[in-house]
Amino acid sequence: MGIAIASFFSGTMLYRCQVLVASFHKRNLEVPTDSTLLYETHDKHSAIEGSRKLEHTEEFKCLDKAAILSDVEIKSGEFSDPLRVCTVTQVEEFKILIRMFPIWATGIIFFAAYAQMSTLFVEQGMMMDTSIGSFTIAAASLSTFDVISVIFWVPYL
Which pLDDT score is estimated for 103?
86
pLDDT mean for each 10 residues of the chain (157 residues):
76 72 85 79 63 80 82 69 77 88 82 72 80 84 78 77
Contacts of 50 (CB under 8 A, 6+ apart): none
Which pLDDT score is estimated for 157?
64
- CA distances, 39 to each of 9, 62, 112, 123, 152 (Å): 25, 15, 42, 58, 52
